[in-house]
């Protein structure tokens, strides 16, 4: 079965199969299953089309998923880069943003940025 741009196996448990959708984790999938009265034993085969339509309508209306979630994420990233604050500059340079160590880790990323930067501005 194909739901929200993700392949879902028909014999998989419903709460696990919902986590295949980008933007839905285990906690959210369990909340959705409890909301619609599905326990651990329910698989996609055993659920009727009415329940599947109800679940997909709920997900579509209430949650940010798939391309909408990615668009929201990248717009926020672009906002930081355009503001040219510390966080945006670190994103633009490809360094770690949240205070991680770069002396021993992240050397590949720094090398990659150096090559791109030198190529762009020669």
Could you tell me the domains of the chain? 2-66 (1.10.8.50), 67-120 (4.10.910.10)
Contact 28, 35 (CB under 8 A): no
Express each pLDDT in 25-71 by its tens digit. Answer: 999 999 999 999 988 888 888 888 898 899 999 999 999 998 899 89
Closest CA relative to residue 14, chosen from 23, 105, 5, 1: 1
pTM over 0.85: no
Residue 5: pLDDT band with limits 50, 70, 90: confident
């Amino acid at each position: 079965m194909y739901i929200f741009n993700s392949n879902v196996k028909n014999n998989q448990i419903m709460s696990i199969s919902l986590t295949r959708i980008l933007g839905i984790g285990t906690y959210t999938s369990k909340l959705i299953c409890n909301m619609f009265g599905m326990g651990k034993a329910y698989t996609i085969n055993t659920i009727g089309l009415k329940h599947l339509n109800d679940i997909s309508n709920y997900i579509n209306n209430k949650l940010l998923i798939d391309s909408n979630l990615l668009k929201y994420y990248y717009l926020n990233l672009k906002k930081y880069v355009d503001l040219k604050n510390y966080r945006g500059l670190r994103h633009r340079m490809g360094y770690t943003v949240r205070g991680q160590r770069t002396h021993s880790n992240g050397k590949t990323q720094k090398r990659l940025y150096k090559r791109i930067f030198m190529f762009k501005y020669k």
